[in-house]
Amino acid sequence: LIPSDVTLSQLEAEVRSFCEERDWDRFHNAKDLSIGVATEASELLQLFRFLSPEQVEAAITEPTSRASIEEELADVAIFLLRFTGRYQIDLATAIRNKLARNATRYPAERVRGNNRRAED
Ligand SMILES: [Mg+2]
């Protein structure tokens, strides 16, 4: 559920403007942006470190920790959109292509209720 009409293209343009205003292109090659994605994903993971499953659910509900989770998710998404914008990658199409590939790797009738690949 995404309660917003903002498109990936609009967000990508906003991220591009933000970076162009700061002359950050020189810092944003594919390697740098991949490091950015991984670093921000690590910051997201850090928020859940050592938490029990019950504490994880509480963290998502509690307003302060939820705000931190939203911030790190946004950081990951910003780096993804910066990457796709810099290299003219259509993220929506890439996601749909990967979902289609995953549908063949994880046929619902064969993997329902477990998270292992069908060929495992
Ligand atoms: Mg961060």
**Side chain identity at 31, as an amino acid letter?**
K
Cα of 49 to ligand 1 centre, how many Å? 15
pLDDT in tens, 86-120: 999 999 999 999 999 999 999 999 888 887 765 54
- Residue 77: exposed, middle, or buried by beta-carbon count in 10 A (0-12, 13-18, 19+)? middle
pLDDT value at position 117?
63
pLDDT in tens, 38-57: 999 999 999 999 999 999 99
Percent of the chain whose pLDDT exceeds 70: 94
Q: Which long-range contacts (CB under 8 A, 24 or more apart) does 92-95 make?
A: 92/8
Query: Cα(19)–Cα(70) distance, rounded to whole angstroms?
Result: 21
pLDDT at residue 3 greater than cutoff 80? no
**Side chain identity at 76, as an amino acid letter?**
V
Cα of 109 to ligand 1 centre, how many Å? 38
Cα of 70 to ligand 1 centre, how many Å? 10
Cα of 95 to ligand 1 centre, how many Å? 23
